[in-house]
Amino acid sequence: MDPRATYEQGRVEAEGRLREHDGKIRALSAARLVVALGGLAVVVGLVWGHFPRWTMGALAALVVAFITLVVLHAQAFAARARTEAALRFHNRGKARLDGTWRAFPETGATYLSVDHPFADDLDLFGTSSLFQLLDATETPFGRDTLANALLLGAIRDDSPPTETWANHLAHEQQAVRELAPEVPWRAKLSVEGTLLRTDAPKPEPFLEWAVGKSAGDVPGFVLVLAHILPPLTLLLAAFASELHLPKASWVLVVLLEVAISARFRSSTSATVEAVSAHAGGFARYASVFAAATSKDWSSPRLARILAQLRLSGSKRGVVREMAELERVVGFVEARRNEVFRLFIGPVLMWDLHCAVRLERWRKRSGKDVSGWFSALGQLEAFASLAGFAFDRPDHAWPEPKPIAQLSATGLGHPLIDAKRRVGNDVDLPGPGTALIVTGSNMSGKSTLLRALGTNVVLANMGASVAATSFAFGFVTLATSMRIRDSLEEGVSHFYAELKKLKRVVDLSKHPPPLLFLLDEILHGTNSRERIIGARSVIQGLVKNGALGAVSTHDLGIADLAEALPDAVKNVHFQEQVNADGTMTFDYQLREGTVKSSNALRLMRAIGLEVPLEEMDPAPPT
């Protein structure tokens, strides 16, 4: 399946359906106007034109026709909204391919913590972030699950505690690979979520109500009376005379209903008001769950999620239970009409009936609600990773290895568009190995480190990676690349870097093995102390069994390869100087240390005076 052709076909089909919907809506609007005018003409004729009485039937038919048109009109608008959501799904797919995804409004910036071991350095959240690229979720549960997966390195579930890391990763990969070609199913899930997105309520109040304590049970005999008294009221109001009873006898029944309702008002009102305030939006999740469970899956992880959704504690499944909640909430919402609430509701003992049905629902399904929405979040997160894999068929599927290592060919940064991305081969064969990356400014050192870390994050979630091959073992990840000082806390740039390095070193002392990525280490001090300190940090990390890469301009740090030839390897990037003095970069990783620097050339290129004789010789083109 060609991703661009798939999205383009979906876009064209959705736009065609939108035109059909618009035509249907215009036709229905015109028909409503004609029927309304016809009904008005009949009313005028009956009142002032002395129309025959049989025209009352025509008026009734016009009223029925108008109501039917109103329903059809609403259905047409609902169908149009779904088609608009489908168009949005395919347009977002094209945007990811075109590189315009950086304009997506959801950046995940609220999930970013600068204290996280690697999230800030690897651009996991914020504008032009990995989250912004991956995110195809529509519910807060999906967004939270995807964000936590990026931070934790896995989409968490209730996997058996005996499941190994390799098996867990294999199950996640199977789930992503199975969902990747299922564009219609992913589109359906996205459409139903999009329809809720604009006014989706906060989840916490509803979840608290679902698992909270009952406001109080209503005795069985009261429930019997609640079913008998309302029809008895209507019966007495209509046929009291025929039954030789006082005409106002129905009033006594209403007073009894009011007394019973008042007796249990504290419990019924608490339940009804809580649901009216918090559960209305969640009741409409029935359609989202229907889409989520509309297809069977063979991968173990997806099969477990479906089982959780299809069989709740009541054995009725999430779709039936949420549909039931939606019906009850619809009854509750009728109370918003003042006439109904003050006059009709008391006669029907409406609040009591609604509260009883809500409490029954909560006792039957409340304990399952948290699991349902957790499962929905997992499905949306897997669908996001599946869309990423579908969009990039040239990406590799990571291969788990039994020991801590990282070996990749054609490795590139997934946030760089494919047309501009340059792949490189990287090999960290086992614990206690490191790469020292030297090179000119802007040659690609930092990008290589970020590519390593970002692809490891993707690999740990079961996603495809920007490489032609990628093998890795179970590692934790920590970085020191982007340093943020703080005037408010009185933290200098250098001290902030020391704190990050201390965290990296501390993590390397505990299993599993650590993958470290250090960019321009200790560049806040003089060259002598920088070289001594950096060499000491790298030696300590390697001694602790960590593996990783360090970028630097200091060739003195690169001398570690001579002191630790079995552990440290030198690689470098370089620039090419053209005949006219301009520089270009091929971003190709080479073995050994760089032989030149371009800092003075860059200074001269932007207009700062630098003597030509002070500059390093131009590297070969």
Write the CA distances from 547 to 299, 432, 513, 556, integer angstroms. 33, 5, 8, 20
In a domain, 525, yes or no: yes
Is the pLDDT at 86 greater than 80? The verdict is: yes
- Ramachandran bin of 581, using left for φ above 0, alpha for ψ from -120 to 50, beta for the remaining angles: left
Q: Is 459 helix (H, G, I), strand (E, B) or coil?
A: helix
Lowest mean pLDDT among 252-256, 520-524, 529-533, 594-598: 594-598
Q: What is the DSSP letter of 465?
A: B
Q: How many whole angstroms separate alpha carbon 589 and alpha carbon 447?
A: 11
Residues 6+ apart with CB under 8 A from 274: 205, 209
Q: Is 256 helix (H, G, I), strand (E, B) or coil?
A: helix
CB 131 within 8 A of CB 146: yes
- Ramachandran bin of 244, using left for φ above 0, alpha for ψ from -120 to 50, beta for the remaining angles: left
Is residue 514 within a helix (H) or strand (E), and if so which, with residue range?
strand 514-519
In a domain, 471, yes or no: yes
Residue 434 structure tokens: 């490191």
First to last CA, the chain: 40
User: Is residue 337 domain-shared with residue 404, that is, in the same domain?
Assistant: no
Residues 6+ apart with CB under 8 A from 565: none
Q: Can you give the pLDDT at residue 159?
A: 67
Paired sense of beta strands 424-428 and 476-480, if any: unpaired
In a domain, 608, yes or no: yes
| pLDDT tens per residue, range 559-595 | 999 999 999 999 999 887 666 666 778 899 999 987 7
User: Is residue 431 domain-shared with residue 332, that is, in the same domain?
Assistant: no
- 301 half-sphere exposure, CB direction, 13 A CA radius: 27
Across all residues in the chain, what is the average pLDDT?
Answer: 87
In a domain, 133, yes or no: no
Paired sense of beta strands 575-577 and 568-573, if any: unpaired
Lowest mean pLDDT among 244-258, 268-282, 335-349: 268-282
| pLDDT tens per residue, range 116-155 | 999 999 999 999 999 999 999 999 999 999 999 999 988 8
Domain span at 557? 399-614
Closest CA to 378 of 160, 180, 154: 154
- CATH of residue 589's domain is 3.40.50.300
| pLDDT tens per residue, range 296-307 | 999 999 999 999
User: Is residue 350 domain-shared with residue 462, that is, in the same domain?
Assistant: no
CB 76 within 8 A of CB 24: yes
Lowest mean pLDDT among 13-17, 67-71, 187-191: 67-71
Q: Give the mean pLDDT of 365-384.
A: 93
Q: Can you give the pLDDT at residue 315?
A: 67
Q: Give the CA dihedral 81, 83, 86, 91, nearest 10 degrees.
A: -100
> Regarding predicted confidence, which is higher, 608 or 35?
35
Q: Can you give the pLDDT at residue 441?
A: 79
* Residue in the structure block whose two tokens are 């549909």: 323
* Residue in the structure block whose two tokens are 């914020």: 126
Core vs surface per residue 521-534: b (16+ CB within 10 A) or e: bbbbeeeeebbebb
Residue 28 structure tokens: 């229905």
CB 305 within 8 A of CB 378: yes
Paired sense of beta strands 568-573 and 590-591, if any: antiparallel
Lowest mean pLDDT among 288-302, 361-375, 568-582, 606-620: 606-620
Count the domains in the chain: 3
Q: How many whole angstroms separate alpha carbon 30 and alpha carbon 64?
A: 16
Q: Give the mean pLDDT of 4-11.
A: 97
Q: What is the DSSP letter of 608?
A: -
Q: What's the distance, CA 47 to chain centroid? A: 61
In a domain, 619, yes or no: no
User: Is residue 537 domain-shared with residue 414, that is, in the same domain?
Assistant: yes
Q: Which residue, 45, 67, 99, sits at the end of a domain? A: 99
User: Is residue 478 domain-shared with residue 577, that is, in the same domain?
Assistant: yes
Closest CA to 402 of 54, 169, 593: 169
In a domain, 545, yes or no: yes
**282 band by pLDDT with thresholds 50, 70 and 90:** confident
| pLDDT tens per residue, range 492-512 | 777 888 889 999 999 999 999
Q: Give the mean pLDDT of 518-543.
A: 89
User: Is residue 211 domain-shared with residue 250, that is, in the same domain?
Assistant: yes
| pLDDT tens per residue, range 262-277 | 888 777 777 777 676 6
Q: What is the DSSP letter of 491?
A: B
User: Is residue 537 domain-shared with residue 416, that is, in the same domain?
Assistant: yes
Q: Which residue, 317, 344, 379, sits at the end of a domain? A: 379
Q: Residue 580: is it exposed, middle or buried by C-beta count within 10 angstroms (0-12/13-18/19+)?
A: exposed
User: Is residue 224 domain-shared with residue 305, that is, in the same domain?
Assistant: yes
Q: Can you give the pLDDT at residue 619?
A: 56
In a domain, 43, yes or no: yes
Residue 514 β-bridge partners? 476
Q: Can you give the pLDDT at residue 291?
A: 95
User: Is residue 341 domain-shared with residue 232, that is, in the same domain?
Assistant: yes
Q: Give the mean pLDDT of 28-32.
A: 95
Write the CA distances from 167 to 161, 248, 384, integer angstroms. 12, 75, 21
Closest CA to 323 of 363, 293, 270, 282: 282
Largest CA distance in the chain: 121
User: Is residue 437 domain-shared with residue 531, that is, in the same domain?
Assistant: yes
Q: Give the CA dihedral 413, 414, 418, 419, nearest 10 degrees.
A: -40
Core vs surface per residue 491-502: b (16+ CB within 10 A) or e: eeeeebbbebbe
In a domain, 258, yes or no: yes
Is the pLDDT at 488 greater than 50? The verdict is: no
